[in-house]
Amino acid sequence: MGLSLIRGGRKKMLLEAYLIKFVKYFFFVDVTLLFCLDNTQNEIDISRVTIAGLVLLIYFVGKIQTNQMRRSMFSVQGNMGGMQDMMKRMQPIFDLRYEIVVIVLSIGIFISLIFFPQWAINPISNWFLDTILDIEDTPVFGFIFKVIGFFFMISIFMKVTQGFMTMLTGRGFRNKNENNQSNDDDDHFDDFTEIK
């Protein structure tokens, strides 16, 4: 919010947007690792770290896919009508190269924090951890928090299952032109074809 006030209504620059995103991902990764520490906060639980690492990786890949889809939807909607200027202003900032760099750096930080867990303990991350645990213990909000977490885990399992099914069937590795050619050969009609 402070950066928005300083910016004074002008649109976020690409570097600024990804710097903010990197800070968000840094604290996200940091707090995730704090959940992987045991109660004494001296040793890391390997099973928790493995599951947390996989969930983070799936989450980051899902974020890339979602942002790509939103970007393409905005570009299609912007080309359809005369509201191109408004659509350009509303269009989310997305650059695949910057996105990949931020995610690789975040995963690198997560891996380095596994080897040096004392670096993960800082006042801001501890505040986030305590706040999350307090929300979880609150009667109404805690229940809502757990329901959201349940559906988040269901979506993670669905993405993993979909990825494995794509790998097993090989559907994701086929060339799209090959699929279109096989369909075109069966049902291909042109202006000079006689239908009996």
Top-confidence range, 24-33, 50-59, 88-97? 24-33
- pLDDT at residue 40 greater than cutoff 80: no
Give Cα separations from 135 to 52, 77, 110, 132, 142 (angstroms): 20, 39, 24, 5, 5
pLDDT category of residue 168 using cuts at 50, 70 and 90: confident
Residue 5 or 141, more confident? 141
CA distance 30 to 51: 15
CA-to-CA distance for 96 and 175, rounded, in angstroms? 22
- Name the helix (H) or strand (E) containing 174: none
37 C-beta neighbours (distance < 10 Å), count: 19
**What's the pLDDT tens digit per position in 118-139?**
888 889 988 998 888 888 888 8
Residue with the larger pLDDT of the pair 8 and 25: 25
- Interatomic CA distance for residues 135 and 141, integer angstroms: 6
Reported as a single tens digit per residue, the pLDDT across 87-112 is: 555 566 778 888 899 999 999 999 99
User: Which pLDDT belongs to residue 104?
Assistant: 93
